[in-house]
Structure 1
Amino acid sequence: MARNIGSRYTTHQILGRGSAGTVWLGEGPEGPVAVKLLREDLASDQELVGRFVQERTALLGLDHPRVVKVRDLVVDGNDLALVMDLVRGTDLRTRLDRERRLAPEAAVAITADVADALAAAHAAGVVHRDVKPENILLDMEGPLGPGGAHPALLTDFGVAKLIDTPGRTKATRIIGTPDYLAPEIVEGLPPRAAVDIYALATVLYELLAGFTPFGGGHPGAVLRRHVTETVVPLPGIPEELWQLIVQCLAKAPASRLRASELAARLKDVLPLLKGIPPLDVDEPDSDPAAAAAQASEQYEEDAYATGTGSGEPGPRRAAVPLVPGASADSNRDTHTSMRVPAPDELSGGPLGTARAPRSAGAPRPGSARHKAGVVRKRRITLAVAAVVVAGALGAGGYLVASGDEDAPPQDSKQSSQP
């Protein structure tokens, strides 16, 4: 059903949904457009509407071939919408869901495109703050690049900043997606350009491995890993590429590359990756039963992140609805809000400790597989102890019996008296 957005645009059909709003196929004065209509709950927030208007100039001025251009920002009654270029293709998450992991050459080509987009945004003073596969679009009508990769474009610029208004989020809350959050955000520091580099390096790791370096399980556990853990190496890629990933996943923001430097170095590495097949890497806790048991155990701490105390299991990348009382309407959630862990929690306090780097396929400490192994070891230890005790008792009985036989005649006489 057609719907007018402002006086210039008309929407026709839904292209996708997210926790921040719904994306529609629309028509404008210059042809087809994508219209991201924010939720009515958000549109009724006058402070957010004011921020929306303030960001108009910065977002409209962001123009780069690797950025999905924002054409207009519409404030009309209860409608709050971003009008963007229409990209004929799919998002990177959909491709990952289909292929699980990409060949290194294609993964690096896509990452280099996004790094170019971030370099343009950072030069204009815009920080994305929510770089993830869902916000990377693949243009199926564009020319194929290295490794057969379709051109990648970064979208949803400004949405995280618009949502993160002082009246809507408190100092104890974070805006972002847990798997891709830089450590400084977890620690409550303001987001700078380096947070986008960290998130993009996480995306590259995921494209290569099929899973994120610190993801999995309860959101609170994911946040702690970002701050305390070291990334586990990936076998089968050139050392130059691995060092790039490590540098961009550095805990200290100043140690990471700038977007323009990352883009240039990724393009330098591309020739080394030609012909390398997708990596054969074991995903942590890939056993379905073990993964389900781990999720159930970890979600006992549900109140830690959501304050609900429900303890109900959920998906691996758990999402907390952005708007209180709202339910997530698809798996394309744009934002997750959760509490910032206290210092003792981040350092491995009562809620858990950091896991040490481990080899691929080894059970993660604290996981169901790891706990099952610990239980087996304990049972074996108890069984061995029981055998030892039984042996000791048997030996003791033998010594008592032999001692009676060797007793002096005097003792025998005394024991035989009435």
Structure 2
Amino acid sequence: MARKIGSRYTAHQILGRGSAGTVWLGEGPEGPVAIKLLREDLASDQELVGRFVQERTALLGLDHPHVVAVRDLVVDGNDLALVMDLVRGTDLRTRLDRERRLAPEAAVAIVADVADGLAAAHAAGVVHRDVKPENVLLDMQGPLGPGGSHPALLTDFGVAKLIDSPRRTRATKIIGTPDYLAPEIIEGLPPRAAVDIYALATVLYELLAGFTPFGGGHPGAVLRRHVTETVVPLPGIPEELWQLIVQCLAKAPASRLRASELGARLREQLPLLVGMPPLDVDEPDGESAEDVPEGGETAEPTAPASRVRRGAVPLVPGAAPDSNRDTHTSMRVPGPDELAGGARGTARAPRAAGAPRPGSARHRASARRRRITLGVAGAVLVAAVGVGTWLATSGDDAGATPHDTKNSAPASP
């Protein structure tokens, strides 16, 4: 059923539902548009509406081929809406769900597009704050790029910042999606451009591996890993590409590349990735060693871990996750003592396909089998040594007479 949005736009049908609102296919004076209509309880928040109006100039000024342009911001009664360009395609999360991981050439080309879009935003003083596959759209009507990739555009600029009002998220709260949060946000520092670089490097890792470097388990454990753990190498990619990922996942924001540098460096890697197949690595098990009692047994998972959404909680407290996975969290910032300790058993090292993760039930069972095998082998070895010694001693005795001694001399001819 059609509905009017302000005086210039008409919303015709729902394209997707997010925890912050609903995206509609709409019509405006210049043709089809996408309209993100925020929830009524958000629209009734006068502080949020004020922030919405303040951001208008910055958001409308973003004009780049790899950014979904915001054409208008509508404040009309109970309607609070962002009117955006309509992209004919799908989001990157949908493609990941279908393919699990991408060939390196396509993954790098997509991330380079997003880096170029971020460079334009950062130059305009806009920080996205929620870079993730759900917010990357693939234009299926655009020309194919390296590795057969479709042009990638970053969307939802400004939404996290609008929601992140002082009243909604006090100093003890954080806004963002756990798997992609930079360490400085978790530690309570204000978000700068470097948080987008960290999140984008996490997306690149996920496109290559099929899982994020610090995800898995409870959101609190995910946050702790971002602060305390080092990213584990991915086998099978060029060393220079891996070093780019490591640099952009640095704990210190100043150590990361700028968006323009990242885009340029990634494009330099493309010739080295032509024809390279997707990586053959297994996702770490869903459990961690600290989740399983010592000596306890757990059943093998009934579904691949990659099918389980990790760290997915709503942007707005009380809202349920929904069809387009507008997944954020608002949670307490861990204290320094919590961030400094308790990281044992949370490392998520990628491994060769079929190999169990260290600390998992499969790994412990395998270790027990190895211990049993080594124990049996040791017993056999001891027995063999004993038998050999007995045979050697018996052989010496069989060739001697009762009168043979060490001091006897050979018989004379």
Same fold (TM over 0.5): yes
CA deviation vs aligned residue, 1:302-349 (integer Å, no higher than 9, x gap)? xxxxxxxxxxxx954233333333322335124221111111111124
Q: Does 2:13 match 1:13?
A: yes
1:225, 1:354 within 8 Å by CA — same for their partners in 2? no
Q: Residue 59 of structure 2 aligns to which amino acid in structure 1?
A: L
C-alpha distance in 2 between matches for 1:54 and 1:358 = 44
Once the two structures are superposed, residues 342-391 of structure 1 have per-residue CA deviations (whole angstroms, 9 ceiling, x without a partner) of 11111124xx53645746156556655456668x58x97xx99xx9xxxx
Aligned mates of 1:159, 1:83 — CA distance in 2: 12
Specify the alignment match of 1:102 in structure 2: 102
**2:317 pairs with 315, 324, 329, which one?**
324
Using the TM superposition, give the Cα deviation of residue 296 of structure 1 relative to its aligned residue in structure 2, in angstroms: 12
**Structure with the larger helix share:** 1
Whether 2:253 is the aligned partner of 1:253: answer yes
Structure 1 partner of 2:332 = 339
The residue that corresponds to 2:300 in the other structure is: none
- Contact conserved, 1:20 with 1:335, CA < 8 A, in 2? no
Look up the match of 1:90. 90
SS of the aligned residue for 1:262 comes to helix
CA offsets 1:139-171 (integer angstroms, 9 cap, x no match) = 000000011100000000000100100011111
C-alpha contact (below 8 Å) 1:179/1:215 kept by paired residues = yes
The correspondence of residues 30-41 of structure 1 with structure 2, limited to 5 A, is: 30-41=30-41
Q: Which residue of 1 aligns with 2:304?
A: none
Distance 1:364 1:8, change over 3 A: same
Q: Matches of 1:44 and 1:368 in 2, distance apart?
A: 50
1:258 counterpart letter in structure 2: R
Distance 1:5-1:331 versus aligned 2 partners, 3 A rule: closer
Tell whether the 8 Å contact from 2:179 to 2:311 is kept in structure 1 after alignment.
Answer: no
- Aligned partners of 2:115 and 2:262 also within 8 Å: yes
1:199-236 deviations in Å (ceiling 9; x for gaps): 00000001111111111111001001111111111111
Q: Does 1:142 align with 2:142?
A: yes
Structure 1 residues 296 and 48 mapped into 2: Cα distance closer, same or farther (>3 Å)? farther
Task: Note the aligned Cα RMSD (angstroms).
Answer: 2.5
Contact 1:294 1:368 in 2 (8 A): no
Q: Which amino acid aligns with 1:345?
A: E
- TM-score in terms of structure 2 length: 0.82
Per-residue displacement from partner, 1:216-268 (whole Å, max 9, x unpaired)? 11100100111111111111111111110010000100000000000110111
Letter in 1 for 2:41: D
What is the distance in 1 between the residues matched to 2:311 and 2:254? 30
Shift of 1:42: 1.0
Unpaired runs of 5+ in structure 1? 286-290, 299-313, 388-418
Shift in alpha-carbon separation, 1:342–1:373, aligned structure 2, 3 A: farther
Give the structure 2 partner of residue 209 of structure 1.
209
State the partner residue of 1:360: 351
Secondary structure at 2:282 match in 1: coil
Instruction: Name the CA distance, whole Å, in 2 between partners of 1:218 and 1:119.
Output: 33
> How do 1:180-259 and structure 2 match up within 5 A?
180-259=180-259
Other structure's SS at 1:35 match? strand
Structure 2 counterparts to residues 153-164 of structure 1, below 5 A: 153-164=153-164
Same amino acid, percent of matched pairs: 86
Is the 1:180–1:198 Cα contact (8 Å) retained in structure 2?
A: yes
In 1, Cα distance between the equivalents of 2:112 and 2:93?
17
Q: Is it true that 1:116 corresponds to 2:116 in the alignment?
A: yes
* Contact 2:64–2:117 (Cα < 8 Å) also in 1: yes
Unaligned runs of 5+ in 2: 293-306, 380-413
Scaled by the length of structure 1, what TM-score is found?
Answer: 0.81
